[in-house]
């Protein structure tokens, strides 16, 4: 049965002028998860990423470290939501001492519940895009081929929440704890797609524990 490894991108540059650029730690994380995927012996893996720079660069570093030998494909349906725009829309100032993560949680909850959002900007549309990208990838894999997708925490939360039929609170909780350059694994069988593991990050244990980040 095909396996699909969903990889969250490495740490972005939160304090830089361009957030979408991988930090130095993010680049190291991408290499580490590539080495972990090489250890797993995936079968002729198809490599896909979103079109965001942090996703594309993570995918390239993963491919190099894992020795996949092919250029990653790109699909914008694997892109993350704009967290700053989401905060502006659903959790506007004043923020006081509230952390960015708390603001994201608040905004994401409100977005999921917002039945008045335009069809294009709704949570339903965001989730549907990710579901469609997964379905297309799943149908393209043969019985002896696996896949690696480099995406983002919001997409991972949406897909895993859907597979587990989680309520809004569960989706927000998944989004909050997703580790940079973690791996969530799906297995594709005759009865559909099943979430096998979520948020694996043992490759950041031991002497690599300092590489563990969430944002």
Both structure tokens of 66 = 């894992």
**pLDDT tens-digit profile of 29-47?**
999 999 999 999 999 999 9
Instruction: List the domains of the chain with CATH numbers.
Output: 3-80+119-211 (3.40.50.1240)
**pLDDT tens-digit profile of 165-179?**
999 999 999 999 999
Average pLDDT, the chain: 93
pLDDT score, position 54: 96
What distance in Å separates the CA atoms of residue 18 and residue 96, rounded to the nearest whole number?
Answer: 24
Contact 133, 75 (CB under 8 A): yes
Model confidence pTM above 0.85: yes
């Amino acid at each position: 049965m095909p396996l699909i490894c969903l990889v969250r991108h490495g740490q972005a540059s939160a304090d830089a002028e361009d957030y979408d650029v991988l930090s130095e730690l993010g680049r190291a994380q991408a290499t580490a998860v590539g080495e972990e995927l090489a250890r797993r012996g995936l079968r002729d893996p198809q490599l896909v990423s979103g079109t965001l720079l942090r996703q594309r660069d993570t995918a390239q570093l993963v491919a190099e470290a894992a020795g996949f030998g092919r250029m990653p494909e790109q699909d914008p349906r694997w892109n993350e939501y704009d967290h700053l725009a989401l905060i502006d829309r659903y959790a506007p100032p004043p923020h006081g001492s509230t952390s960015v993560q708390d603001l994201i949680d608040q905004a994401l909850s409100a977005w999921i519940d917002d039945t008045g959002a335009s069809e294009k900007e709704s949570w339903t549309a965001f989730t549907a895009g990710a579901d469609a990208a997964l379905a297309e990838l799943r149908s393209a894999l043969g019985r002896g081929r696996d896949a690696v997708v480099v995406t983002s925490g919001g997409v991972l939360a949406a897909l895993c929440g859907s597979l587990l039929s989680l309520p809004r609170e569960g989706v927000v909780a998944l989004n909050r704890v997703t580790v940079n350059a973690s791996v969530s694994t799906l297995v594709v069988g005759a009865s559909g797609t099943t979430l096998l593991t979520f948020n694996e990050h043992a490759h950041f244990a031991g002497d690599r524990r300092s590489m563990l980040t969430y944002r």
